[in-house]
Amino acid sequence: MRIATKIFISLFIVYAFYTNFYLTTNDAPRFSLTAALVEEHRLEIDSFFNKTLTPPGWNKNATIWNGIDYAVYNGHIYSDKAPLGSFLAVPVYFAIRLFTSNIGFLSYFCSIFVSGTLTALTAVLIYSGGKYFTKDENLRILCAFAYGLGTISLTYGTIFFSHAATTFFEFAAFYILYAVKRRTLGDKYLYAAGLFAGLGILSDYYAALIGVCLLFYCFTFSKKNTIKFFIPFILVIGLMSLYHYAVFNDPLTFPQHFHGTFKERHEKGFYGITGIHTDAVYGLSFSPQRGLFFYNPVLILSLLLLGRFYRKHKTEAILIAIVSISVFLFNASYDDWKTGISIGPRYLCPIIPFLILPMFELKNNAKERILFGILLVISITENFLYVNSRMNIKETNIFGFIFEVPAIPNASNALDQLLLQYGTVFQYSIPLLIILFFAVWSKEIYKAVSK
């Protein structure tokens, strides 16, 4: 079995294991639009929104989420999210609907086959793209798992939020661009890069910041062919405008303008962007409440290695810096920069694979590999605690710092959630997951031990 396939299977199993059979207020409108498209062939979600939050028989031991994320226009309820995730889930919903109408099962499979699949594929891209930056295959594998298990991508690979799709499409666009630059792919693939960059914006509107950066990056090495990137990129944005026109009768109006709960917040500044909040700079970087480097300690290596990466890959290092800073400042400028109930700074998810790239500059010496190992173990442990909490977190003041402490629910994974419907749980779920993981990697583990 190829290494890339093993990475995908390993991560997909983990994500499937921790994906929920219920929805939160964030993914409920996204799933409701999927259901409305399949069941009623329309964009209004009136018939589905409330029932998706509390599917019968599934929320006995789960947090009951209030439906606060939706848009209201002309007396109908609509999704307040960018539409891509809902449309990606349509074939999944359609296929599963042939066998069951249970919302728990339908939402589970939509989540895992969109968020889980795309997060695992992003990790595969990190491994595959690593060949351009290092000859050390073991380092490429570890960096892929650092992303897939050691960052907040682990949590957002298990829920039907937008971040997995946004991250995949924007990073895939970069991957293609870099391959074209290195001449391992032909110029015709610039069309695919532009398409993917545009799809990222259809998943999260603020991904336009990354898409524009990628457009200029394309121009740095292929001025004459940048039009091949630009055409599909702008066409996808045109599709987004058509969706807005179909829903709100205005191609330039975003769903947040008609938000049913937080309309006043979105009316501040430009759709809630009110200028950089000074407390958000620390809050989104190192704070224990939403800090990027607190929730993803392994990314500290990116800060340490970016200079070394710059010396070999100047343009790419600049791109990483601009992409990261622009998305960071956007999040810091948002009125609700903490983004409600959240595991880490979720709006920063799309920059994480870009920040993994400098880690390919790790040298094969004891000092750097030990540091990498320590940060990786801390990152994986921390993120497994958070994914295990199923978004059940409690703000706790410890020595004057606000921490988001994860709870330990009765049924923290898909298997136990299924068994709980029959009044029991399987106490050895996590050991079973570990056994499956090692079974996939038994050959590589044997080789490592033999040395």
pLDDT for position 61: 46
For residues 327 and 105, what is the distance between their CA atoms, to the nearest angstrom? 34
In this predicted structure, the answer to whether residue 366 has a pLDDT above a threshold of 50 is yes
More confident residue, 128 or 427: 128
Residue 377 amino acid letter:
V
Least Cα distance to 173 among 142, 218, 131, 138 occurs for 218
Span 55-74, mean pLDDT? 67
124-138, 260-274, 312-326: the lowest-pLDDT one? 260-274
The residues facing 401 across adjacent strands are 398
In this predicted structure, the answer to whether residue 62 has a pLDDT above a threshold of 70 is no
Angle (nearest 5°) at CA 295 between 395 and 355: 150
Per-residue pLDDT tens over the stretch 276-291? 999 999 999 999 999 9
Span 201-217, mean pLDDT? 97
Backbone phi and psi for residue 395, each to the nearest 5 degrees, phi listed first: -70, 125
Alpha helices in 222-277 (DSSP H): 226-248, 263-267
Eight-state DSSP code of residue 64 = -
For residues 247 and 301, what is the distance between their CA atoms, to the nearest angstrom? 44
In this predicted structure, the answer to whether residue 59 has a pLDDT above a threshold of 50 is no
Residue 197 amino acid letter:
A
Span 397-402, mean pLDDT? 78
C-alpha to C-alpha distances, 190 to 124, 210, 229, 233, 336, nearest whole angstrom: 20, 16, 5, 10, 36
C-alpha to C-alpha distances, 415 to 18, 158, 234, 374, 385, nearest whole angstrom: 9, 14, 43, 30, 17
For 34, the enclosing helix (H) or strand (E) is: helix 27-39
3-state DSSP assignment of residue 355: helix
425 band by pLDDT with thresholds 50, 70 and 90: low
pLDDT for position 157: 97
Q: How is residue 365 written in tokens?
A: 């010496």
DSSP string, 264-288: HHHHSTBTTB-S--HHHHHHTTT-T
The two beta strands, 401-406 and 393-398, are antiparallel
Span 15-28, mean pLDDT? 88
Residue 233 amino acid letter:
F
pLDDT averaged over every residue in the chain? 90
Please state at what angle helix 137-150 crosses helix 117-129, rounded to 10 degrees: 150
Least Cα distance to 131 among 186, 191, 175 occurs for 175
Q: How is residue 423 written in tokens?
A: 């009044």
Alpha helices in 44-99 (DSSP H): 49-53, 84-88, 90-97
Q: How is residue 269 written in tokens?
A: 């500044």
Span 187-204, mean pLDDT? 98
For 440, the enclosing helix (H) or strand (E) is: helix 429-440
126 band by pLDDT with thresholds 50, 70 and 90: very high
The two beta strands, 76-78 and 393-398, are unpaired
Half-sphere exposure of 5 (CA within 13 A, CB side): 3
Please enumerate in sequence order all residues whose Cβ is within 8 A of that of 146, keeping only pairs 6 or more positions apart, or say none.
298, 356, 359, 376, 379
Q: How is residue 285 written in tokens?
A: 């970087």
pLDDT for position 63: 47
For residues 33 and 80, what is the distance between their CA atoms, to the nearest angstrom? 10
Please enumerate in sequence order all residues whose Cβ is within 8 A of that of 317, keeping only pairs 6 or more positions apart, or say none.
306, 309, 310, 358
Name the one residue in this structure whose structure tokens are 């079995």: 1
